Amino acid sequence: MLRSLTPETVKTLSKNQLNVLCDELRATICETVLKCGGHLASNLGAVESTVALFYTFDFPNDKIVFDVGHQCYAYKILSGRGRQFSSLRQTGGLSGFPKRKESEYDCYDTGHAGTSVSAAIGIAKARDLKKESFEVVAYIGDGSFNNGLVYEALNSLKILNTRVLIVLNDNGMSISPTVGGMHEILSGMDKEKAENVRLLEQFGFTYMGVKNGNDLEEMLDAMDEAKNKLKTGSVLLHIVTKKGKGYEFSEEHPTNTHGVPPVGAIKEREYSEVFGETLCALAEENPKIAVVSAAMKESLGLEKFFSAYPERAFDVGICEENACVLCAAMATQGIKPYYAIYSTFLQRAFDEIIHDVGSMDLPVTFCIDRAGISGADGETHQGVFDLSYLSMVPNLTVIAPKDTEEFKKALRFSATYAHPLAIRYPRAGKIVFPDDGAELEVGKWEYHHNAGDAASVTVYAAGERNLVVAMKVLKNLQAKGKEFNVVNARFVKPLDMRLLRSDRSKHIVTIEDNVLLGGFGSMVNTAVMGLGKGQTVRNFAYKDEFIVQGSVGELQRKYGVNCAEIEEYIAELI
């Protein structure tokens, strides 16, 4: 059926045909995600409700905003992207998230949690202002519903005086199981929940519940009723679904199958594994160590820590700001908190990094996974801004370790460091470099390859990926009889001014896994300019653009961190 399906034909199908359609959608999603990687369990659970939405509403005239976007696959297929679906998350292929530039059916890009209700309200208000008539839907999971931004949006519905439908897809999970007081208020429908109704009615919503959101008939009826109610006011349609529905392994392992790699993909999780193990070891020595995560403890490598030290391990749900302030507050009382998070999500706590951790100079350690280009998730998930937004914060020290072994050293360094500290690292470690055995000292770099005083070029590389690039270029040029220095600039802030001052090379090259603006190279430029030795600096860093989906290697080449180009540049200098 999918092969001949158009967005228009969905509305002409019988209920039996719609049930078949659900089965086919589920099969297509499974097949594609196992091949391309992607978000499996969340998308499987959303099939019936998505079909009901598509059957009932009139997209793209009506608008839908998927929170985060982990539940938009069925919608993508239904909205005319079935044939391209096998290109999911591939270079040049369909995005795993809603993208305006991909289809007129996608009205708002998402990727981070909690934006959908605000976005729906904003779109609805724009409709009112323009005196147009269409309906607006926010589709949000119960994990995202914990996020403070959702609460701000609910709170503003009456202020903006408009109408939206929120579909709250309650599968009891974010990536990890959903936690917290709001979840208890809204979760499940097995007991009397009169207070839910009252709560939501005070925010301006009519509350509706569907006990089995994976039952297509129930969903079609409820969606029809919701659409009618929406004529006169906002509706919150609370549906209970099964994450991973229809794929037995996924139903039983919803966390492990939330996001899955392609079948046959090499498992590369060294940094998170090293993180979990090392932090456990440190915590055994130091009872003051605690860890806070925002709904991602498994993918951050923290499962063992949560098992071994449950009283010191806190998963606060998708509440990045709260996690940061909790860390700051615990640090004021002599606890040693570690805030583990992906680079792109830490952006949500930027103000708290400055206002709470930075300005009080508190010893909170940020362990920042998926730093640099993160690959197939695309624009909304690249961790390419952290060196910039962290380095500007007074009192904060930033480390980019050269490999997993140096990452362990960085964690040991953190254990006694009395100030804010950020350690940023990519998903996968590929190499372990030779090691001088010394522990880290704040702001101290090392010559990773010392070509001697006569060398006219020094390459400063921040972090493993960039040191790998530098060493590859070195090897190629050494084969041609050319030599240069390579420095492991593991402290991105503070810079090693002593080493920079003593650097006699005429030409400096910086390489980083971050945007140029405000990042490592920018800081080196300022430092070199201040030293006034007339050295040139060439920065290899990402251009001032949003970085699309693709493999790390491809994207590094495309956006400005290019082995061939670096080699060519250095070869000309020597």
Burial letters 483-520, b for 16+ CB under 10 A, else e = bbbbbbbbbbbebbeebbeebebebbbbbbbbbbebbb
Cα–Cα distance list, 377 to 87, 88, 200, 408 (Å): 13, 10, 33, 28
Of 260, 318, 414, nearest in space to 114 by CA: 318
Q: Considering the rule CB under 8 A, would residue 189 count as an interface residue with a copy of itself?
A: no
Q: Is 320 one of the catalytic residues?
A: yes
CA pair distance 415, 398, nearest whole angstrom: 15
Q: Is 405 one of the catalytic residues?
A: no
Contact status, residue 505 vs residue 452, Cβ threshold 8 Å: no
Residues from 441 through 500 that contact a copy of itself (CB under 8 A): none
* Residue of the chain from 216, 330, 371, 509 that contacts a copy of itself (CB under 8 A): 330
CA pair distance 485, 462, nearest whole angstrom: 14
Which amino acid, one-letter code, is at 166? I
* Residue of the chain from 321, 406, 446, 512 that contacts a copy of itself (CB under 8 A): 321
Contact status, residue 73 vs residue 342, Cβ threshold 8 Å: no
Residues from 538 through 557 that contact a copy of itself (CB under 8 A): 539, 544-546
Instruction: Name which of 123 and 340 has its Cβ closer to a copy of itself.
Output: 123
Residue 175 CB, shortest distance to a copy of itself, in Å, is 16
Torsion from C-alpha of 114, 119, 122, 128, nearest 10 degrees? -130
Instruction: Name which of 47 and 353 has its Cβ closer to a copy of itself.
Output: 353
Instruction: Name which of 530 and 553 has its Cβ closer to a copy of itself.
Output: 530
Which amino acid, one-letter code, is at 79? S
* Residue of the chain from 172, 177, 261, 518 that contacts a copy of itself (CB under 8 A): 518
Q: Considering the rule CB under 8 A, would residue 175 count as an interface residue with a copy of itself?
A: no
Torsion from C-alpha of 149, 382, 66, 129, nearest 10 degrees? 70
CA pair distance 23, 41, nearest whole angstrom: 15
Residue 64 CB, shortest distance to a copy of itself, in Å, is 13
By CB under 8 A, which span of 217-225, 249-257, 326-334, 421-429 interacts with a copy of itself?
A: 326-334
**Alpha-carbon 497 to chain mean position:** 33
Residues from 116 through 145 that contact a copy of itself (CB under 8 A): 118-123, 125-127, 129-130
Q: How many CA atoms lie within 13 A of 99 on its CB side?
A: 18
Instruction: Name which of 481 and 532 has its Cβ closer to a copy of itself.
Output: 532
Cα first-last separation, the chain: 63
By CB under 8 A, which span of 112-120, 216-224, 297-305, 482-490 interacts with a copy of itself?
A: 112-120
Instruction: Name which of 50 and 344 has its Cβ closer to a copy of itself.
Output: 344
How many chain residues bind a copy of itself (CB under 8 A)? 109
Torsion from C-alpha of 317, 320, 321, 323, nearest 10 degrees? 60
Q: Is 538 one of the catalytic residues?
A: no
Q: Considering the rule CB under 8 A, would residue 319 count as an interface residue with a copy of itself?
A: yes
Q: What x-and-dash track marks residues 204-243 binding a copy of itself by CB under 8 A? A: x---------------------------------------
Which amino acid, one-letter code, is at 222? A
Residue 86 CB, shortest distance to a copy of itself, in Å, is 25
Q: Considering the rule CB under 8 A, would residue 388 count as an interface residue with a copy of itself?
A: yes
Residue 65 CB, shortest distance to a copy of itself, in Å, is 8
* Residue of the chain from 16, 92, 181, 572 that contacts a copy of itself (CB under 8 A): 181
Question: How many H-runs (helices) and E-runs (strands) does the chain carry?
Answer: 22, 19
Catalytic one among 48, 135, 298, 320? 320
Q: Considering the rule CB under 8 A, would residue 156 count as an interface residue with a copy of itself?
A: yes
Residue 151 CB, shortest distance to a copy of itself, in Å, is 4
Residues from 274 through 313 that contact a copy of itself (CB under 8 A): 287-288, 290, 311-312
φ/ψ of 40, rounded to 5, equals -95, -65
Any residues with CB less than 8 A from the CB of 188 and at least 6 apart, and which? 170, 172, 240
* Residue of the chain from 51, 328, 415, 470 that contacts a copy of itself (CB under 8 A): 328
**Alpha-carbon 201 to chain mean position:** 33
Residue 79 CB, shortest distance to a copy of itself, in Å, is 17
| Rg of the chain on CA atoms, in Å | 25
Of 36, 479, 415, 456, nearest in space to 261 by CA: 36
Catalytic one among 26, 242, 245, 348? 348
Q: Considering the rule CB under 8 A, would residue 420 count as an interface residue with a copy of itself?
A: no
Residue 198 CB, shortest distance to a copy of itself, in Å, is 4
Q: Considering the rule CB under 8 A, would residue 326 count as an interface residue with a copy of itself?
A: yes
Residue 266 CB, shortest distance to a copy of itself, in Å, is 30
Instruction: Name which of 222 and 341 has its Cβ closer to a copy of itself.
Output: 341
Q: Considering the rule CB under 8 A, would residue 182 count as an interface residue with a copy of itself?
A: yes
**Alpha-carbon 387 to chain mean position:** 16
Catalytic one among 26, 89, 99, 243? 243
Q: Helix H segments across 286-319?
A: 303-308
Q: Considering the rule CB under 8 A, would residue 264 count as an interface residue with a copy of itself?
A: no
By CB under 8 A, which span of 71-79, 401-409, 498-506, 509-517 interacts with a copy of itself?
A: 509-517
Instruction: Name which of 347 and 562 has its Cβ closer to a copy of itself.
Output: 347
| DSSP state at residue 402 | S
CA pair distance 414, 420, nearest whole angstrom: 9
* Residue of the chain from 352, 403, 503, 567 that contacts a copy of itself (CB under 8 A): 352
Q: Considering the rule CB under 8 A, would residue 314 count as an interface residue with a copy of itself?
A: yes
Catalytic center residues:
243, 320, 348
